[in-house]
Structure 1
């Protein structure tokens, strides 16, 4: 038997008046996810333990069976692991967004979805202007800042404060001074940088500075093979997920055309997942697009992302002898444009059948699995 988890990041939502009181999952045309629910069993999953922020780092660690109370140090070091940045003793890695702050407000947490090439050009200039602090370019707006001799800081995710004044959310605590200094240097370096001059001329949003958040030291994860007795692979265009996979000794499967945004190649991800099952026992296929649409506050893009993901699900369902689970990691409601900690729906094909007819938040709440805790999902999936 082979196993696949299909994870639509941020796919869960609230009922929306513009969709006739339905959620995007209920409104979208999803025959393949509905088939998993109709021919399988459903339930609800609590992916964010009490006391933790509802981030994709916490939720996906929990779904993979790693209790954040034991394994989580911060988002930054998880991304560093995938970027090949080896943290030394006493070093702390922070996730470092390229952002747009104007008139003291967080206008855009991703600088108009700046390209990776543009971001790398800005980061090279910034790295040359900083002292001991180092910055590393990642994918689009998602980058890394490493602080030596660090002790940590209280920070806020920029996607949580879009449209709000940033003054109340600036770094605080032991590393605050070095982070604030780095942010100020970035504003000076980026102000008249050729990348931003071109972006303004083209009517695009400039990157006005960096925003460091969720720092931590290198964690140590129990190897996936040791934990479950199965070989595992990860398909994602996001450094966070691939970093978790690397730390867990899972294979990171690169897919051409996977972008981590709305234009990702959904079907290519599914084809690569099917092919990977010829050599692996388990594949975790992560798609970021629904979450990006939620952060944008776009109902239309979220429905479209869910429907395109569903088409990819159909490719995986064509493979025989495969147990398939579909779920989000957390809700990203379009009304609030950020994550919430509410339980999410899940469905499994290959673990019996209940009376649920479609895959959605309301339908799954009536499923026979009831309300489960996320670390119990994979043991359930792998049980015989």
Structure 2
């Protein structure tokens, strides 16, 4: 049985963290659009970033600020990506760090900066910095635990763009010397593809963990969570996942507790990744693809992601069409090594292909599986013990509508 459990509190659930979100009119007049997360003490800090060669200005600055493995605040805005605008973009990202440092009384180099929204439009710096000032006043207030939870919720609201649902989580682990907490929030709905997408993830913990160990933990967790999500095949310029560990619990984990903390950390990352897939732009269905019996984990990952990312699989899912050939074809061009003539394919519990060929199955049963909100596709490769799971969604008319006029 797990020694950890889900709790309320969001990104500010761990000791020594405060967070809030405010309305700064970055793009819209009545939307939470500036989020601020603050640690009472300097924290061990790490991150992972998009593999897109085109990188947003705040991302470049944040990578620089993480070089010493220390940070004390994270600030993010929605409504504008602050990407691909040249020198003004670098200046705007730095201005966000400077203003945050000024109002919190810390060094600008200890501020991590993120933005999300439209690419190629200069950031309205004055609006954002006014929002940072407002957020800092809320963080400084003495408030009840319920109000702290609400403020954390507002922070999660403030990083949303086309998201229709807030993505946040918190949990705690009982240890020999007390409780350790983990808090998180994320955003993502479109421009989501393996190797990160338009997703921002922020994670906090009051555990005492050195940056080097925290970086390895994050890297491993991301490979089986955020990097296994695809909505539309596009990888963004802005995405990042950042972690702060401030040690305010005073607890250093022993090996057994570290293993449990690691499981909790992975569970949070996978929950947020699944939340992103469920909230895919225009989506009506959540897709989970399990690939079992692969010779190597990387082959299983390639196949699972390829199937989740296939436009033909996604449209068939939307149309509730048991077109298993598209699934096998997507596995075939994934770049993975496997023997097609050994593959079994299931839609839910319904076997639709065996030994690389179609079998007689009930179209009615298959339709019933595909008509559900959550759909499972499972492939058995029968070559080894490795496995992987990817998550995605269907591709609908609404996706085109949302993205047809996103900029305007």
Asked if these proteins are the same fold (TM beyond 0.5), I'd say no
Q: Which has the higher contact order (CA 8 A, sep 6+)?
A: 1
Q: TM-score, normalised by structure 1?
A: 0.27
Structure showing greater Rg: 2
Q: If the length of structure 2 is used for normalisation, what is the TM-score?
A: 0.25
